[in-house]
Amino acid sequence: MVYAALLFNVVLLVAGQIVWKIGLEKSGGFQLENALHVLLSPLILLGILIYGLATVVWLYVLSRLPLSFAYPLQSFAYVLALLVAFAMFKESIPPTRWIGAFIIMAGIAVVSWK
């Protein structure tokens, strides 16, 4: 159950970033002139809510796993975000980032070995 919660936490973190990215695109970006409008926009507020939920899930995870084990596994969020950026936002991902994602996955495998 705790590993499912850890994965759920990662998904929530990436979901929050997706919602924020979409919210920023719809608002024309974040600048001093529109800061209040952006911060109070529904998608930005939804992202904050998602991050709040992710924090609650993370507290559950931390109460059951050592930080030195759980926190490195949370780095899967970087890999998932890269895949989302490529698939959903059509971002161009240079080879160095794909290599970095592979290294992160290798690190996750090493950390998860018992």
pLDDT, tens only, 60-106: 999 999 999 999 999 999 999 999 999 999 999 999 999 999 999 99
Residue 52's φ and ψ, nearest 5 degrees, are -65, -45
Residue 95 to residue 63: CA distance in whole angstroms: 37
Domain locations along the chain = 2-112
- Predicted model pTM: 0.89
Amino acid type, 49: L
